[in-house]
Amino acid sequence: MEENQELQAVSMPRIGDPAPEFKAVTTQGEINFPSDYKGKWSILFSHPADFTPVCTSEFMTFAHMEKQFNEANCELIGLSIDGLYSHIAWLRTIKEKIEYKGMKDIEVTFPLIEDIKMDVAKKYGMIQPNEDSTKAVRAVFFVDPKGIIRAIIYYPLSLGRNFDELYRALIAMQAADEFGVATPADWRPGDDVIISPAGSCGTAKDRMEDSEIDCKDWFFCTKKLDKDEVLKKVLKK
């Protein structure tokens, strides 16, 4: 029985899977995930506990960047294994008392899920028993407008997340979808993008001769993608 409970605690959906459905009470009312977010990207993320310093710094950063994520057609949803009133008190304390890296008077307006019974955390494998059996690790799930999980990033309890990277990953995945390309290491809008390897000798030869495509070899070809074009598509501006 104990082994089965542990397996349930660490089981998690995979990239390409439909996001597991759930209904939950949050600081912004009840939500049905992912159906309430159809047509939008969403980031579902967990944190270990309310009234903890690393989590506080993360929530302030996410709230500070919320408009930026929203402009990229992305909604934020937080979760911890705490009750609704604890969530409300913590978020009020953040707004009224906490200043961090020049951020103050920060109001968290995105939903924070109450998950006392760990139902959602277990569905998403946010409980890692060898890290902590009663706290969620810092999991991040990127879910696309069709409700499909597109990326997953996990951090241990002690490590605060890099929010520039979360935003970069979101924009890169959207750009890949919009333009049918891949993005290389450290890609940001305006950088060259990767063209998928050629599927035939003829295609490879044509690419090597295409002046708009820069091929280092038949399998490594890049092309320019204008920054403004990317942002216009992704940010709908």
Mind telling me the catalytic residues? 55
Residues 158 and 54 sit within 8 Å (Cβ to Cβ): yes
Which parts are annotated binding residues? 138
Q: What is the 3-state secondary structure (H, E, C) of the chain?
A: CHHHHHHHHHCCCCCCCECCCEEEEEECEEEEECHHHCCCEEEEEECCCCCCHHHHHHHHHHHHHHHHHHHCCEEEEEEECCCHHHHHHHHHHHHHHCCECCECCCCCCCCEEECCCCHHHHHCCCECCCCCCCCECEEEEEECCCCEEEEEEEECCCCCCCHHHHHHHHHHHHHHHHHCCECCCCCCCCCCEEECCCCCHHHHHHHHHCCCEEEEECCEEEECCCHHHHHHHHCCC
Which parts are annotated binding residues for substrate? 138
